[in-house]
Amino acid sequence: MSETAKYQRIILKLSGESFAASGERGISMNEVVQIAEQIVEAKNLGCQIAVVIGGGNILRGGQFKSANAQIQEATAHYMGMLATVINGLALQDALEALGAETRLMSAIPMNNVCEPYIRRRAKHHLDRGRIIICGAGTGGPFVTTDTAAAIRSLELEADILLKATRVDGVYSDDPEKNPHAVFYEELDYKTVQEKNLRVMDSTAITHCMEHEMPIMIFNFQKSGNIRKAVAGEQVGTVIASKSTIQTS
């Protein structure tokens, strides 16, 4: 029997760092193409996919926090939002070179570059089989792209929020620094908050908890993991309500 999608619609959260080679900044098209190939592979299972992108490979707000930076924090957030659109353009071309139909949608209007993000229009594109790429976060400062991904997953009525990372899932500590760090296959939202596990920011976790939006944290660098996650295979850590975990 051929592999099919378990989820009809997913939000895939990609960090900006996933667009650069490990330890580097900027955009590596080799990295972007590899991600695009995995997304198309998952899309071909019959899943509707919306991608939310970070911009940390181009700009990180922390670089403006010194006393002599002379850039207001809100300004730095807007600069970061524009960086996500740059990443979105790179991913869009990579996807379309593979034959996928896409729409890049920005929460900050820039009509010469991409479409404005409008919820009903985004759902229409998904229903038409297009991969949508959501740029510019939520369009407002002081909100992370993790929170943007949580909000998009709720308003687009996704079945699950998939967060792609460079590690296999959630650990009790940094596995690269602590060889004794414990890997969690399943967690409930409260435990994530109580243990202060740095999987997503607290606002994103709260949104998902309040609306019981499941999250899977997984390693996108392992070839085929996006497809496997869409097919329902647990390839990382699942975060959900305690009742859902107990009955799974």
Mean of the pLDDT values across residues 72-93? 95
Residues in the chain: 248
Encode pLDDT of 140-169 as tens digits.
999 999 999 999 999 999 999 999 998 899
Beta carbons within 10 angstroms of residue 195's beta carbon? 12
Contacts of 157 (CB under 8 A, 6+ apart): 9, 123
The bridge status of strand 186-188 relative to strand 215-219 is unpaired
Q: What is the pLDDT of residue 67?
A: 58
Angle at 52 between CA 49 and CA 55, to 5 degrees: 150
How much is the average pLDDT of 97-107? 98
Instruction: Place 176 in a pLDDT band, splitting at 50, 70 and 90.
Output: confident
- What value does the mean pLDDT take over residues 199-227? 94
Range scoring the smallest mean pLDDT among 65-79, 117-131, 135-149, 154-168: 65-79
Sign, CA dihedral 144-98-219-158, equals positive
> With contact defined as beta carbons under 8 Å apart, do 82 and 97 qualify?
no
Residues 6+ apart with CB under 8 A from 227: 3, 38, 41, 42, 45
Over residues 84-102, the mean pLDDT reads 98
Instruction: Evaluate if pTM is beyond 0.75.
Output: yes
Instruction: Select the more confidently predicted residue: 134 or 244.
Output: 134
> Do 166 and 18 touch, CB atoms closer than 8 A?
yes
pLDDT band at 217 (very low <50, low <70, confident <90, very high): very high
- Please name the CATH architecture into which domain 9-247 falls: 3-Layer(aba) Sandwich (3.40)
Q: How confident is the model at residue 139 (pLDDT cuts 50, 70, 90)?
A: very high
- Which has the closest alpha carbon to 162: 3, 2, 15, 4? 15
pLDDT band for position 69 (50/70/90)? low
